[in-house]
A and B are shown apart, each in its own frame.
Chain A
Amino acid sequence: MTEHYLLGVILFAPFVGAAVLATPWVSNRHPLLVRQLAAFFAGISFCASFYLLFAFDWQKGGYQFQQKYVWSEQLGIQFYIGVDGIGVPMVLASSILLFAGVFISWHIKDRTKEFYAFLLILAGATIGVYMSLDLFFLYFFYEMSVIPMYPLLGVWGSHTKGYLETTNADEWERPDAPRFILNFARNSKEYAAMKLTLFLSAGAVVALLGILLIYKASGLNTFEIPVLAEKAHFEGTLATIIWLLCFFGFASIAPLWPLHSWSPVGHAAAPAATSMLHAGVLMKLGHFSIIRTCFQILPDTTRDLMPIAAVLCIFSILYGGYVAYYARDTKYVIGYSSSSHMGYVFLGMAALDYISLSGAILYMFAHALATGMLFAMAGWVYDQTHTRDIPSLGGLVAKMPFVAGCFLVACMASIGMPGTVNFVAEVMIVLGSWAKYPVQTVIAVLGIVLTMAYLFRMMRGVFYGQLSELGHHAHDAEAFVDRVPLLIMIFSSITFGLLPGRMLDVIRSGVNPILARIMEVAPVVTQTGSGLLP
């Protein structure tokens, strides 16, 4: 019974929460009630997805907890949700970040109700993508998760420093003009919101064309992923076109190197909780959808074309790291660092190796926690000092020891310190892709050094040195609600870092059949329990 409805509960709790908040009976005059309601519904997802991790039977593998309803016979669409080994960790990461994000945003005073409604829709839609086993609903939730970003960034976001200096007050009169989107007011939150939404929507429609081509060319009149993976065959130019459409369409949210430019701008403008969800789980929608479409439905083409990703991911890693080192804005540093780290996931995927692909999935989970923590703390510092400019900050460790400590842990996690789950994931990616792409792997390891450089530089600039003027009135995170989200994320990161066994077993049960199809060999049967080798 619980097995049957488990995914439905995880998926719909945020939406029900958003609907409850949208009703006229919940008013902005009682912000505490709004927060408690949001925390309650996010909490349902949070608890249920932890249960999911332990209820998932990794020895059986395959898609579990399936729910399937016919949605439209004419179009061949079914509401079909279920998770496999790669879905479980991502669902877990999404609900952890949602739950933490609700507490991180506890101090938002302006239009609290609308903020939490959009946040819940964003997170719910993200969870929906990780559960969808129907291409239609994959796209449905994907596009649905992009749109709430616009009001979240635009209303509750913040301008980047330098915004006022570069903005001419006279020109500001007509910010709706098309040139606004091209070159005007680059640092404003409106610009960031519009750029992000349009960029991601453009990527989404490219992917939609790919999905429609899959639908048409398979001739099966269905969007169901397992059926398409099993029965549909694509060959020649058509397969290449579909693969490229799906890959680059979804890679725009990932973000792969030439398509990344929306991402740091968006991260910087977003409020803390949105940045967390955005960098933590929204970007992984790209990798996940690529696995669902390219890897599962077009395995042969994936084998031929995945080297593209292996080349581009290097640019992601180095370019992101390079810019992060020179960025002045804390959120830009973390944003570019996220783009850079997403390159590792692409490397792990491109190698098409059991260990590296498992590592890539684990890295998505790990990075969600690490970057979530970093953004949460950057948001805290911004709320206290009203700046994100690293040179104007300093010495905050005296004022906020707890946050500084957590920040250090988050940096360590992001670098991949042993003991955090990032370490396990990085090692797996590096080990797995060494055989196939030694050059890229060496560069990727250099990227870790780069990560260390820019994160420590930021750490020193913000928390150590002389206490800046802006920091005199800063407070530490002392209240229970302020500490809870940080502790949850740190706890998860370290727990799964020390005991990655169960998570890895779950992931491997998802990765093995997918890779087996790509490599055209029988799936590896896992007899033993935990361990790195399949």
Chain B
Amino acid sequence: MTFDLNLTLSDLLLMLPELWVTVWICVVLCVDFLMPRMSQRAIAGLSVAGMGVALGFLLWYYIEGTNGVLFKGMFVLDRLALFFKILVVGVSLLVLLSSIDYVSRFSFFKSEYYFLVMMAALGMMFMSSANDLLSVFITVEFSTFGFYVLVAYLRDDLRSSEAGLKFFILGVFAAALLAYGTSLVYGETGTFIFPTIAQGMAHMTPGLVVGWLMIFAALGFKIGTVPLHSWIPDTYQGAPTPITAFLSIAPKGAAFAILLRMFFSTLAAFKPQWVWLMIGVAMLSMLYGNIVAIAQRNIKRLLAYSGIAQIGNILIGMAAGTRMGADAVLFYLLTYLFANLGAFAVVIAFSQTTNSDEIEDYSGLNRRSPFLAFAMLVFLLSLAGVPPLAGFIGKLYLFVAAIKEGLYTLIVVGLISIVISLYYYLVVVKKMYISEPADPTPIKVSGVLQSVIYVGLAGTLILGIYPRPFIEYTVAATTIFSHLGAVPVVTTLP
């Protein structure tokens, strides 16, 4: 196998956002070294500006409709990649913003924190474009690398160290699985690149089955589906809250980019085999996540288990295996982004004043800060899937995609899990609204956090009430899956 790197400069333009972020990461790091007196807020502003520019590039590409392939198909830039890059960069922007107040809790390396967040974001941007088993391996490890450090960033907190260690050991284990699975698939097909792998697989051999299962397991670790979820609650609880928020969305989104490419393009011919895997994993995640969440006393753990259940919901769309399923996955990720980030922003704001993440301490939040309580109410109900909020449309989209494929059992489990999840979300609502506060001092929310929460509220409400442009946006992103069956259009328009 030979590589020739005859690139023109214009080819590299396809990677402009990534190159820009790379340069900017170095700038941020250098500024921090060279100007030690610069406050961490200024560094934060610098990072936010850099990511903002990257977002601008991505939006420009999206409007222009730029697409192309680099490095013999290892790096692909299409609508799907752009969708996930925008998602990742948008999330990291919000995470950077919500970190500004939180960073004061760290004893050392305050400014490197921003560097690491941006580095993880860069890795996930590459993940969205990975179209090749090798680049999948490299990018996944690249993005996880930053997280290993970030999760353990609260050095004096034992929980944070525990979280870091647990995340690291299991993460390395997943990396080993990914590497071994990759080698098996390569051994069977003789190629790494997704489209050519598809041509090389006439039928499933045992080696291929084991190889793909291992790759799925490694990515399942990233998204946190049930048999591979065990790191999630402890890591979420121990990690600094902005990092928990980041972990709960961005890597999952980027991993779904790879999963979609893998299962919907490369393995599309083997859908009858893998659909059972998806159905099983989805059901287990929904039931396990929701049932165990009932017993949680810590809001971060509650959100961790609810996150496992939400991933189970998204896998309904994967199980559908149609283009509509892919649309639903993308749309649900959007709804999940706003609600989940918003909920974590509330958790950050709450713990800034009270230094607590226990649900018991949320008692009477409505009296202490009506804004926070209302925002949390909206986010939790959106996660539960209550109209007119975004989560409801997301769930309905998934159900409609699944029922068109006749996945009745999966839908029944999904509907049951909605009711179960409503219970534990309402318990938090009960604390916030019904219980009286032990300490009635008002909670102040800083302007930056407030703006993050407003973004979450706006997203949750707009996606719920007027989702049409967003649905069209996701549909445009999944054109590469049009071979899976065209999207039917309403026959009875006025």
Chain A positions within 8 Å of B, measured between CB atoms, are 22, 24, 68, 70-76, 78, 111, 114, 136, 139-141, 143-144, 147, 150-151, 154-155, 176, 178, 181, 189-190, 193-194, 197-198, 201-202, 205-206, 208-209, 212-213, 215-216, 220-222, 224, 227
Are A220 and B491 neighbours in the complex by a CB distance under 8 Å? yes
Which of A147, A181, A193 has the most chain B CB atoms closer than 10 A to its own CB? Answer: A147
Closest residue to A216 on the B side, CB-wise? B403
Q: Given the complex of chains A and B, what is the CA–CA distance between A24 and B450 in angstroms?
A: 13
Which of A194, A197, A205, A215 has the most chain B CB atoms closer than 10 A to its own CB? Answer: A205
Which of B426, B487, B489 has the most chain A CB atoms closer than 10 A to its own CB? Answer: B426
Query: Contacts A75-B396, A75-B400, A215-B403 given: A197-B471 contact, CB under 8 Å?
Result: no
- In the complex, whether B9 has a CB less than 8 A from a CB of chain A is no
Q: Given the complex of chains A and B, what is the CA–CA distance between A71 and B493 in angstroms?
A: 11
Q: Given the complex of chains A and B, what is the CA–CA distance between A114 and B433 in angstroms?
A: 10
- In the complex, whether B366 has a CB less than 8 A from a CB of chain A is yes
Query: Contacts A198-B423, A220-B491 given: A155-B404 contact, CB under 8 Å?
Result: no
Are B416 and A22 neighbours in the complex by a CB distance under 8 Å? no
Are A212 and B411 neighbours in the complex by a CB distance under 8 Å? yes
For B492, the chain A residues whose CB sits under 8 A away are: 220, 222, 224, 227
Are A181 and B415 neighbours in the complex by a CB distance under 8 Å? no
For B493, the chain A residues whose CB sits under 8 A away are: 70, 73
Are B374 and A176 neighbours in the complex by a CB distance under 8 Å? no
For A197, the chain B residues whose CB sits under 8 A away are: 422, 426
In the complex, chain B residues 283-342 whose Cβ is within 8 Å of any chain A Cβ = 294-295, 324, 327
Are A143 and B387 neighbours in the complex by a CB distance under 8 Å? yes
Q: Given the complex of chains A and B, what is the CA–CA distance between A111 and B359 in angstroms?
A: 22
- In the complex, whether B105 has a CB less than 8 A from a CB of chain A is no
For B397, the chain A residues whose CB sits under 8 A away are: 75
Q: Given the complex of chains A and B, what is the CA–CA distance between A206 and B377 in angstroms?
A: 24
Kindly identify which residue among B387, B399, B403, B434 contacts A190, using a CB–CB cutoff of 8 Å: B434
A484 CB to closest chain B CB (Å) equals 29
The total of Cβ contacts below 8 Å across the A-B interface reads 115
Give chain B's interface residue range (CB within 8 Å of chain A): 35 or more
Are B433 and A71 neighbours in the complex by a CB distance under 8 Å? no
Are B386 and A143 neighbours in the complex by a CB distance under 8 Å? yes
Query: Contacts A75-B396, A140-B388 given: A209-B324 contact, CB under 8 Å?
Result: no
A158 CB to closest chain B CB (Å) equals 12
Are B388 and A198 neighbours in the complex by a CB distance under 8 Å? no
- Fill in one digit per residue for B456-494: 1 if any A CB lies within 8 Å of its CB, else 0: 000000000001100100010000000000011111111
Are B419 and A154 neighbours in the complex by a CB distance under 8 Å? no
Are B475 and A74 neighbours in the complex by a CB distance under 8 Å? yes
Closest residue to A208 on the B side, CB-wise? B415
Q: Given the complex of chains A and B, what is the CA–CA distance between A141 and B434 in angstroms?
A: 25
Are A22 and B374 neighbours in the complex by a CB distance under 8 Å? yes
Query: Contacts A22-B374, A190-B434 given: A213-B403 contact, CB under 8 Å?
Result: yes
Closest residue to B487 on the A side, CB-wise? A74
For B429, the chain A residues whose CB sits under 8 A away are: 150-151, 154
Q: Given the complex of chains A and B, what is the CA–CA distance between A193 and B434 in angstroms?
A: 11
For A189, the chain B residues whose CB sits under 8 A away are: 434
Are B433 and A151 neighbours in the complex by a CB distance under 8 Å? yes
For A221, the chain B residues whose CB sits under 8 A away are: 488-491
Q: Given the complex of chains A and B, what is the CA–CA distance between A178 and B471 in angstroms?
A: 38
Closest residue to A69 on the B side, CB-wise? B494
Are B387 and A222 neighbours in the complex by a CB distance under 8 Å? no
Are B387 and A141 neighbours in the complex by a CB distance under 8 Å? yes
For A22, the chain B residues whose CB sits under 8 A away are: 374
Are B468 and A194 neighbours in the complex by a CB distance under 8 Å? no
Are B423 and A194 neighbours in the complex by a CB distance under 8 Å? yes
- Fill in one digit per residue for B133-146: 1 if any A CB lies within 8 Å of its CB, else 0: 00000000000000
For A24, the chain B residues whose CB sits under 8 A away are: 371
Are A73 and B489 neighbours in the complex by a CB distance under 8 Å? yes
Kindly identify which residue among A111, A176, A205, A213 contacts B419, using a CB–CB cutoff of 8 Å: A205
Are B327 and A74 neighbours in the complex by a CB distance under 8 Å? yes
Are A147 and B433 neighbours in the complex by a CB distance under 8 Å? no
Q: Given the complex of chains A and B, what is the CA–CA distance between A136 and B427 in angstroms?
A: 28
In the complex, chain B residues 358-413 whose Cβ is within 8 Å of any chain A Cβ = 359, 366, 370-371, 374, 377, 381, 386-388, 392, 396-397, 399-400, 403-404, 406, 411-412
